[in-house]
């Protein structure tokens, strides 16, 4: 049975996330213990406002997703399904791509991954903050087909920064830019009967506003010593195998370039889901807080089986679902 693994990004965090996995699975507990007491406190007891802070959110989401992934591998083995499941590839939405890198062996230690995502969050936050300490950018989600939405982007841009940055499904595109441009976009979209809403985020992620962060992030990634992936990773910036254009040479430099560009480039998530299906995935398993990616997968291709793992209950449901799929083969 061929499956694809997707890792959640920022936005679905909540107090108590990962606690029952920590209590139930030694493999998950080991990840949290490596992350340290501060991260455990944030994940298990942090209030909503604390968990919204980027320097808190990014290491917490990364830790929870990796803990849930390790719990999944342990549960697969316990259920006798390990030899029946073939993971054909990994993908992670934005921040989640760092969990994909870790699962595929590019980042060799949880501690290293924690350091990278913490620095990444700080750099992106700084890039989107003005001299007055206030956010310069914003993001908005628009519902409908991609092309009409991008036409509105062109109309509303004027002299500001405004780009389509997350192509999430056939029915959802996220745009990012400076605040004035986002306000123009929302009004222009509504005038054309396109439903659009400003998102509760602090800046314009994956837009040209992140260029300063991307430059600094590249140095962080170089210093981390990224290794060659041991499995396929579908890159956010192309939706294809991350190593597709590698022609030899310094693999760390190649991957540092891709992952630094990710901070300032669009995420092609709809295409990523379609490519999982193209490559034979029979099921997609979303790992991490929330069910956002499962919902996007359903809107993109409802024929593929979808599961999510964020706690003990959803993990058991996933194991039962995979067992049922195996039985039906």
According to DSSP, the β-strands at 172-178 and 137-143 are: antiparallel
Closest C-alpha to 188, from 209, 214, 158:
158
What single-letter DSSP state applies at residue 195?
E
283 and 150 share a domain?
Answer: no
Supply 68's token pair: 């849930």
Catalytic option among 15, 55, 169, 206: 206
For every residue of 271-298, DSSP letters joined together read HHHHHHHHTT-SEEEEESSSSHHHHHHH
Q: How high is the pLDDT of residue 43?
A: 97
Q: How high is the pLDDT of residue 69?
A: 98
Alpha carbon separation from 192 to 153, 177, 198, 203 (Å, rounded): 12, 20, 17, 25
Closest C-alpha to 233, from 4, 2, 61, 73:
4
149 and 92 share a domain?
Answer: no
Give 286's strand partners.
6, 308
Could you give the CA distance from residue 115 to residue 17 in angstroms, rounded to a whole number? 20
For every residue of 137-172, DSSP letters joined together read EEEEEEES-HHHHHHHHHHHHTTS-EEEEEEEETTE
- Active site includes 94? yes
222 and 113 share a domain?
Answer: yes
What CATH number is attached to the domain comprising 238?
Answer: 3.40.366.10
118 and 171 share a domain?
Answer: no
Q: How high is the pLDDT of residue 169?
A: 98
The pTM for the full model equals 0.95
- Active site includes 206? yes
Question: Of 161, 177, 202, which one is at a domain's C-terminal end?
Answer: 202
Q: How high is the pLDDT of residue 197?
A: 96
111 and 255 share a domain?
Answer: yes
Could you give the CA distance from residue 329 to residue 326 in angstroms, rounded to a whole number? 5
Q: How high is the pLDDT of residue 12?
A: 84
What CATH number is attached to the domain comprising 188?
Answer: 3.30.70.250
Backbone dihedral angles phi then psi of residue 25, each to the nearest 5 degrees = -115, 115
Closest C-alpha to 72, from 301, 321, 329, 269:
321
Q: What is the number of structural domains in the chain?
A: 2
Q: How high is the pLDDT of residue 329?
A: 64
| Tens digit of each residue's pLDDT (9 = 90 or more) over 105-149 | 999 999 999 999 999 999 998 998 888 888 889 999 999 999 999
15 and 145 share a domain?
Answer: no
111 and 169 share a domain?
Answer: no
Range of the domain at 281: 2-128+209-327
84 and 107 share a domain?
Answer: yes
Mean pLDDT of 239-252: 96
31 and 153 share a domain?
Answer: no
Could you give the CA distance from residue 56 to residue 38 in angstroms, rounded to a whole number? 10
90 and 16 share a domain?
Answer: yes
* Residue 316 confidence (pLDDT) above 90: yes
The label of the residue with tokens 């490519």 reads 275
58's enclosing H/E stretch is helix 54-78
Catalytic option among 94, 169, 260, 265: 94
Supply 311's token pair: 């706690």
85 and 111 share a domain?
Answer: yes
Supply 328's token pair: 């039906």
């Amino acid at each position: 049975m061929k499956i694809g693994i997707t890792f959640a990004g920022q936005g679905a965090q909540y107090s108590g996330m990962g606690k029952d996995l920590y209590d139930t699975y030694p493999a998950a507990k080991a990840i949290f213990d490596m992350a340290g007491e501060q991260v455990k406190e944030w994940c298990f007891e942090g209030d909503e406002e604390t968990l919204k802070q980027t320097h808190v959110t990014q290491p917490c989401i990364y830790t929870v997703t990796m803990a849930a992934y390790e719990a999944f591998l342990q549960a697969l083995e316990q259920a006798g399904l390990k030899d029946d499941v073939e993971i054909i590839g990994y993908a992670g939405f934005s921040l989640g791509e760092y969990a994909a890198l870790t699962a595929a062996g590019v980042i060799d230690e949880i501690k290293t991954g924690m350091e990278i995502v913490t620095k990444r969050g700080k750099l992106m936050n700084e890039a989107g903050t003005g001299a007055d300490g206030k956010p310069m950018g914003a993001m908005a989600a628009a519902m409908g087909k991609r092309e009409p939405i991008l036409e509105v982007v062109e109309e509303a841009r004027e002299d500001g920064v405004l780009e389509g940055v997350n192509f999430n499904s056939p029915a959802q595109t996220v745009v990012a830019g400076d605040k004035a441009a986002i306000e123009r976009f929302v009004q222009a979209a509504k005038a054309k009967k396109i439903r659009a809403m400003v998102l509760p985020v602090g800046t314009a992620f994956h837009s040209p506003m992140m260029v300063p962060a991307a430059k600094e992030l590249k140095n962080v990634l170089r210093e981390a010593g990224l290794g060659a992936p041991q499995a396929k990773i579908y890159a956010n910036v192309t939706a294809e195998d991350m190593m597709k254009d590698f022609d030899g040479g310094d693999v760390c430099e190649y991957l540092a370039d891709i992952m630094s560009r990710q901070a300032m480039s669009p995420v092609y998530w709809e295409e990523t889901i379609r490519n999982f299906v193209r490559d034979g995935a029979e099921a997609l398993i979303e790992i991490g807080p929330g069910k956002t990616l499962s919902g996007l997968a359903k809107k993109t291709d409802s024929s593929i089986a979808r599961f999510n793992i964020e706690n003990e209950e959803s993990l058991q449901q996933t194991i039962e679902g995979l067992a049922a799929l195996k039985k039906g083969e």
